[in-house]
Homo-oligomer: A and B are copies of this chain.
Amino acid sequence: MTLSASTACTNRGEFGLISRIAAKVITTEGVITGIGDDAAVTELSAGMQLLTSTDMLLEDVHFRRAWHDPYRLGRKSLAVSISDIAAMGAIPRWALLSLAIPPGLPPDFIDDFIRGFLAVASEYRVTLIGGDTCSSRSGLTLSVTIMGEQFPDRIVRRTGAKPDDDIWVTGTLGDAALGLRMVEKGEGDEFIVGRLLDPTPRVSAALILAGAGLASAMIDISDGLLADFGHIAELSQVGGCIRCSDLPLSVSFRSHPAHITRIPYELALSGGEDYELCFTADSSNREKIIEAMKKCGIAVTRVGIVASSPGVTARNPDGSRFQVHTEGFTHLI
A residues near B, CB below 8 A? 1-5, 7-10, 12-17, 32-33, 36-44, 49-58, 60-64, 76-77, 80, 84-85, 87-88, 90, 94, 96, 98-101, 103, 110, 129-139, 141, 143, 145-148, 152, 155, 157-159, 180, 219-220, 222-223, 235, 272-273, 326-327, 329-333
A163 to B260 alpha-carbon distance, docked (Å): 70
A9 to B326 alpha-carbon distance, docked (Å): 11
A222 to B2 alpha-carbon distance, docked (Å): 9
Say whether, besides A9-B332, A36-B235, A136 and B52 are in contact (CB < 8 Å). Answer: no
| CB < 8 Å neighbour of A38 from B40, B49, B84 | B84
Residues of B within 8 Å of A332, CB to CB, are 7-9, 13, 103, 135
Residues of B within 8 Å of A219, CB to CB, are 38
Contact between A135 and B56 (Cβ–Cβ < 8 Å)? Answer: no
5 extra interface residue pairs, beta carbon distance < 8 Å, beyond A39-B84, A61-B134? A7-B61, A38-B220, A52-B94, A54-B143, A56-B141
Contact between B1 and A62 (Cβ–Cβ < 8 Å)? Answer: yes
A14 to B1 alpha-carbon distance, docked (Å): 26
Number of copies of this protein chain within its complex: 2
| CB < 8 Å neighbour of A1 from B8, B16, B137, B273 | B273
Contact between B8 and A60 (Cβ–Cβ < 8 Å)? Answer: no
| CB < 8 Å neighbour of A64 from B3, B7, B53, B152 | B3
Chain B nearest CB, measured from A98 CB (Å): 4
A32 to B52 alpha-carbon distance, docked (Å): 12
Chain B nearest CB, measured from A114 CB (Å): 13
A135 to B332 alpha-carbon distance, docked (Å): 5
Which of A52, A53, A60, A64 has its CB near the most chain B CB atoms (within 10 A)?
Answer: A52
Residues of B within 8 Å of A159, CB to CB, are 37
Residues of B within 8 Å of A333, CB to CB, are 9, 12-14, 16-17, 99, 101, 110, 133-135
A100 to B54 alpha-carbon distance, docked (Å): 13
| CB < 8 Å neighbour of A145 from B32, B44, B145 | B145
| CB < 8 Å neighbour of A32 from B84, B132, B152 | B152
10 pairs, A vs B, C-beta closer than 8 Å: A2-B62, A12-B333, A32-B152, A36-B235, A39-B85, A42-B50, A44-B50, A58-B134, A61-B100, A110-B333
Contact between B330 and A137 (Cβ–Cβ < 8 Å)? Answer: no
Nearest-neighbor residue (CB-CB) of A228 within chain B: B38
Nearest-neighbor residue (CB-CB) of A137 within chain B: B60
Contact between A331 and B133 (Cβ–Cβ < 8 Å)? Answer: yes
A54 to B151 alpha-carbon distance, docked (Å): 26
A98 to B152 alpha-carbon distance, docked (Å): 26
Say whether, besides A53-B38, A158-B38, A330-B10, A61 and B137 are in contact (CB < 8 Å). Answer: yes
Say whether, besides A42-B50, A54-B131, A157 and B14 are in contact (CB < 8 Å). Answer: no
Residues of B within 8 Å of A1, CB to CB, are 55, 57, 62-63, 76-77, 80, 222, 273
